[in-house]
Chains A and B, each alone.
Chain A
Amino acid sequence: MSGIRYSFGGDEHIFVEIDEEMSLEAFFKGMAICSDLEKRRIAGVSEICPSNASYLVRFDPDVIHPDKMLRTLQDIDAQIGDADLELPTRIVEIPVLYNDPWTRETLMRFRERHQDPNSTDIEYAARINGYGSIDEFIAAHSGAPWFVSMVGFVAGLPFLFQMVERSKQIEAPKYLRPRTDTPKLTVGHGGCFGCIYSVRGAGGYQMFGITPAPIYDPAQKLIYLRNFMAFFRPGDIVKWKPISREEYDRDVKAVEAGTFDLTIRPVNFSLKAFHSDPGGYSRSLVEVLHGH
């Protein structure tokens, strides 16, 4: 990593870039500093936002002077150092109907804004990532788990980082010009990041499928949204589960009936253990989901 860079964002924010490029190490470092800062409950700190390879803190400079705020963050970094980073978190299985009719209808409407107007988003992504078929691409996309490395842009939207060696990570450019519409709960991809659109709206990520599972609902109707209206937290681990149209329709009915639930299990993630055997460690995480 190139070294941490601190910068004031006006008189109320400090922006901290752990690294210019995305990596699990940079994300973990930011998460570790943010959790430590959270625990200190420092008067005047109103927002602590970990995001991919950086984090953002908002504070009231009338309560804590900007220089003191900066020193506090530098102290936390020095204390954490290069310790082996472990993260107590949870793994959740998210059902996905890949290549669904709704994102397909939407992507056809915005074809002239795409790099390759003659194929669909998933065909294009499969081809540029070297997969022979859409099925092979879906197997790769849904095979290894993904880290929620940031939540935001809009309420409850998770950015996801695939937990495989860099050479195997799926990469795809954003649309040439953003769409003005994206179906709610679209599973998207831009750069090296996946996402789930929590609300309908504009977007520039490639669209691969759709999940029946609501992830943001101010009315908090489903069991897993009772604690809070937005489901995802930075640090969550996601495993995609490809489903059929029949399963999708069944899930949507269950959502409407208020009986739909997700499989969620607690896990302890070790960065060191992951690096020593990414494939094996990912499989062991997924086994936690299924009760092993």
Chain B
Amino acid sequence: MTVDSIAGVDIESNDEGFLVDPHQWNDDVAVELARREGIGPLTDRHWQVIRFMRSEYESKGTGPTVRVLGKTSGVSIKELYQLFPKGPAKLAAKIAGIPKPRGCI
């Protein structure tokens, strides 16, 4: 558990770098988290995924797996892996400030 200053806000993250409290998140935090993960400037497509992850978390209490992302976010699986090369659901969840989704497919 570490406390870090991200985009001027003191944010607590767990060992894997996921936000402990999703409410500490905002757009600037997302931009900084993305930069740290090596994801270039966030495009509209990135934001579409990030917003989708936030809304899924807010309505269902958990982020979606890659399969659900591919089927319901409006972004195909192929594109998801282009936008977030190292594990889209995991990476997009981290950047969106929500916990890592648990799921096998």
Chains A and B come from one and the same complex: no
Residues of B within 8 A of A (CB): none
